Structure 1
Amino acid sequence: MTRYASYLTPAGAPTWGAEKDGTLFDLGPSGLGVAPTLRDAIVSDALSSTPSTANAPAQAVDGTRFLPVVGEAAKVICIGVNYKTHQAETGRADAGHPTVFTRFTDTLWPHGADVRIPPESAMYDYEGELALVIGRPAHRVPRAAAWDHVAGYAAFNDFSARDWQRHTGQWTPGKNFPESGTFGPYYVTAADLGDVDELVLETRVNGEVRQHAGVADLIFDIPAIIEYVSTFTPLAPGDVIVTGTPGGVGLFREPPEFLAPGDIVEVEITGLGVLRNRLVA
């Protein structure tokens, strides 16, 4: 399995490359020039066969400053209340259609970077999620054809200002504070990752497991999500859909436990690595 990352070179230039055994091999503009960005590589289908890393500039993963793994998406669509365990803790009734909200691209933030808790929020929370990246134009895609439009996957943390999320019935303000959508560290193609129903998602806060679920537990599975979302908005290669979070968020713990400066949140998904961020004031 080849894992891809977006990151900065030692000289501070943005690039992307393949990770192997703790080393990053530069396939971007400062390296082999396969494509300017990882998103461009997805759009051009440059990852349909694994690019060679021979003669690529290399650097250790340790000490590397990462970038949001696919940070230039035109659309980031998020699905809410999409695991039975999360639905149960919220007390929401069954829904006939996915709950959808949007996230602005400028909220995306990298693995390893500190996340600032907004001073306007006293209820800052985590949501570990699986994100998928669209690989082919998708408009009114039937369920049976949905998998053909998935390019690959990465881990996502949908940090949420719950107080702002609850101001009205619209969730957009609580889901779009700066630095609130951490994304990465690695992207894996759908062909390499295999059956997503076999993936396990786990979120930890300061080492304590808060969320643990199989992706097979999604209420609306990935084909259903793509069919629904692509009906109301055309999706382009490089667009991102964040598929929902399991039960165990801080808001519904007894008593509620929100994030504080110094907390370290990790989201780990089978094959996709560990997305880690520290919270700061």
Structure 2
Amino acid sequence: MKIIRYSIDENWHYGILRSGGDIERLKRSPLDGLQVAGYIDRLASVRVLSPFYRPRVFGLGYNYRAHSQEVGKNTPTLPVLFMKPSTTVIGHEEGIVYPSDGENIHFEGELTVIIGKEARNVSESDALDHVFGYTCGNDVSDRILQRRESEFGCLLVGKGYDTFAPIGPVVETELDPSNLHLITRVNGEVRQNGNTADLVYGVPALIAYLSKYMTLLPGDHIMTGTPAGVGPIKPGDTIEVEIEGIGVLRNKVITQAGATP
């Protein structure tokens, strides 16, 4: 089942996206149940929004061996975690704002997990019971700031600009995350071609690990890491992250308001 958040007539709603483009509107957040409201909207007539408004976002570094190799890092012996501010999150077809002082901004296509049920001290065998669904994500990163921060053992602003976490377009609730094909394109050219079977730490392991130390809440996002092939983007570029069974997340890179193109 594909869940979508969208706006129409200056109001926003959740809905179930049916094949053919019909959206069956829901009464409330899908995290509170899937009661339908009795209205049908057409996908062609709405604006798609990020699946949830300003969620907590957990990120993973070096969670594909090939990506670790391309950046000269060893395979991690525990999940390498960071957080992205909730204000980084944007939706399908929204603009990724290129910082006015940006020099080396990269895309990172990723499978993103949406938590559906509170999780604390969850075992790997029970972890997927706490998942609401899965969507596409792009962990946009300022490499220069990221490296400067990493020298001192921290990571925030290099991942934390507003608009640096495109998420969407839909949440697929019925999916096996262990073997999904992921492709990232820049201006139509394939740059990443990976599979979640190659994750160092799969979705159950990540949920179990995180929930050992903190309570995961409904609506939390876990961006599971990026395959090899990351690279720079610039204003005017269009980035597409496509994941098997979910769809295509598309965003254009735009200049910051007031910046010189």
* TM-score of the aligned structures, taking structure 2 as reference length: 0.91
Question: Match of 1:57?
Answer: 40
Q: Partners in 1 of 2:120 and 2:190 — Cα distance?
A: 38
Q: What amino acid maps onto 1:211 in structure 2?
A: Q
Looking at secondary structure, tell me which structure has more strand per residue.
2
Instruction: Check whether the contact 2:115–2:217 (CA below 8 A) recurs between aligned residues.
Output: yes
Question: Match of 2:21?
Answer: 23
1:178 aligns with 2:162: yes
Question: Match of 1:213?
Answer: 194
Instruction: Check whether the contact 1:22–1:62 (CA below 8 A) recurs between aligned residues.
Output: no
Q: Partners in 2 of 1:217 and 1:173 — Cα distance?
A: 28
Question: Match of 1:123?
Answer: 104
1:267 aligns with 2:206: no
Q: Partners in 2 of 1:22 and 1:177 — Cα distance?
A: 36
Give the Å deviation of 1:197: 2.1
Instruction: Check whether the contact 2:178–2:202 (CA below 8 A) recurs between aligned residues.
Output: no
Question: Match of 1:78?
Answer: 59
* TM-score of the aligned structures, taking structure 1 as reference length: 0.85
Give the Å deviation of 1:64: 2.9
Q: Partners in 2 of 1:24 and 1:184 — Cα distance?
A: 18
Give the Å deviation of 1:126: 0.3
Q: Partners in 1 of 2:115 and 2:195 — Cα distance?
A: 22
Three-state SS of the structure 1 residue aligned to 2:170 is coil
From 193, 217, 221, the counterpart of 1:236 = 217
Question: Match of 1:255?
Answer: none
Instruction: Check whether the contact 1:134–1:152 (CA below 8 A) recurs between aligned residues.
Output: yes
CA deviations on 1:141-174 (whole Å, 9 max, x unpaired) are 1222212111110100111111111122122111
CA deviations on 1:160-192 (whole Å, 9 max, x unpaired) are 111111122122111110111000001011xx2
Gaps of 5+ in 2: 256-261
Three-state SS of the structure 2 residue aligned to 1:187 is strand
1:277 aligns with 2:251: yes
- Percent of residue pairs identical: 35
When the two chains are superposed, the root-mean-square deviation of aligned CA atoms in Å is: 1.6
Q: Partners in 1 of 2:45 and 2:98 — Cα distance?
A: 24
Gaps of 5+ in 1: 251-257
Give the Å deviation of 1:57: 2.9
Q: What amino acid maps onto 1:238 in structure 2?
A: G
CA deviations on 1:237-269 (whole Å, 9 max, x unpaired) are 11111100000001xxxxxxx211110000000
1:150 aligns with 2:148: no
* Misfit runs of 4+, over 6 Å: none
- Written as runs of structure 1 = structure 2, the 5 A alignment for 1:101-116 is 101-116=82-97
Give the Å deviation of 1:277: 0.5
1:223 aligns with 2:204: yes
Instruction: Check whether the contact 1:213–1:246 (CA below 8 A) recurs between aligned residues.
Output: yes
Q: Partners in 1 of 2:148 and 2:45 — Cα distance?
A: 40
Instruction: Check whether the contact 2:181–2:244 (CA below 8 A) recurs between aligned residues.
Output: yes
CA deviations on 1:35-77 (whole Å, 9 max, x unpaired) are 1xxxx322x2x14xxx558x42312x2353221112242x211
Count residues with an aligned counterpart. Answer: 252
Q: What amino acid maps onto 1:3 in structure 2?
A: K
